[in-house]
Structure 1
């Protein structure tokens, strides 16, 4: 097994214009104090390259969701530094962080979080409408075409399947042209066919729209759509895999589980 320091290639100075959409340096996240202190992340270093699809995996309690939440500015860190693009987000005030998340970050969650009174197109443009920004029509058309929703834009969520609703959520995340999109088990509530559809559209958004995606998942099949898989254990990145297949990821997870139980 590679060590955390060897597994993840990092540069000494991730700030400023670079190939990284996000970066973390010596990031620690702990809860509680004294005997009740729990360390969810332990001095993690990682670079998230632009235009790449990264999956984060690990057993329950490994810190994978915590890492994503810290990278996305949804949670604060106990120690260390995090950048989104050329902006260091650690230390930003709440108002600054809210603006950065709105302007530079997209989110896709298990629950679709669509408003039932709005049609698909209105749900897609809602964040920009709230921010008082007009969508780039050319980009919006390209996004809608990429996720295959052109003939569903006037439909409300109740008129769409689960897979179609999640595609609306994907399009909403893409529409504002963020620097990076974070997905927290984005296919967790979908059947295998709908999940494959959504993962295919995420893959296409990377290949055809040069989007950057970071996805937390427990599913080796979902991870196989990524360019790179990061494996976490006990708050540390313990391994990574490039050009993963479902079988190779499953075998890696089995070896990991075997060592934990031996």
Structure 2
């Protein structure tokens, strides 16, 4: 089996996508206060790929992630995880899908201070009454470099280590797709690079699908693909990005915004 330049096996890339948006629309408010956050967005997130979503403030990038992750309702169009249409699910089914098929990583680590690292990692499965796959869990812990820190509580860990726990927690349930919202926003550059490396390794070594919202061109360069939003629409796409290429593209958007 051959691989793409950024690690995803080509056989996986031709498989059904992990998530699909079709003419996805999200509108907030009514009348004069109405804001169109997403304007008929169509995009696929393929399995075993790392995709970054970028755009100026207010472009709709976080809204797109929240709608695709079932955290926010949609106003029109379709959002699917695998072959499951999110807009057809009631609240109970949506909660179950988020629990069973989606992993989340946020800027705030969201760890429980009274639990150690291992307990935080397995907490979602404990709540669901599911036993972790020990072999998979060991592989995840090794991938994110936490083998020697599992008995430590959050206050005994650095910010980077806490975010590694959050990454492991998102991976532990072997989700269909993992969404990360500015996962390095609270980290210094070294810790941020470590976490981004772990996310990239989860794609390359574990076959995970990762979608990350970020404003940082350096963070985006860890992804295999970057999609760019402006005014609620996808306006560009880049494969095998470099930080400089992403920064140049963002500067072009800023310049266009100033002259429009």
Please tell me the TM-score bracket, short chain as reference.
Answer: over 0.9
Aligned residue number for residue 47 of structure 1: 44
Correspondence 1:254 to 2:251: yes
Which of the numbers 35, 53, 56 marks the counterpart of 1:56? 53
Name the counterpart of 1:111: 108
Separation of aligned partners in 2, 1:213 and 1:19: 15
Where does 1:1-262 land on structure 2 (aligned, <5 Å)? 18-262=15-259
TM-score w.r.t. structure 2 length? Answer: 0.94
Q: Structure 2 CA distance, aligned partners of 1:153 and 1:32?
A: 45
Give, in angstroms, the shift of residue 18 of structure 1.
4.5
Q: 1:152, 1:82 → 2: CA distance?
A: 38
TM-score (norm 1): 0.93
CA contact (8 A) 1:18 1:86 kept: no
How far 1:19 moved relative to its partner? 2.3
Alpha-carbon distance in 1 for matches of 2:16, 2:224? 15
- In structure 2, stretches of 5+ residues that fail to align are 1-13
SS at match of 2:88: coil
Q: How many residue pairs end up in the alignment?
A: 246
Runs of 4+ in 1 over 6 A off after TM superposition: none
Question: C-alpha distance in 1, partners of 2:110/2:75?
Answer: 29
Structure 1 residue 91: deviation in Å?
2.3
Superposition CA RMSD, Å: 0.9
Q: Counterparts of 1:188 and 1:19 in 2: how far apart (Å)?
A: 32
Cα shift readout 1:75-129 (whole Å, capped 9, x = no counterpart): 0100001110111111210000000000000000000000111000000000000
Instruction: Give unmatched runs, 5+ long, in structure 1.
Output: 1-16
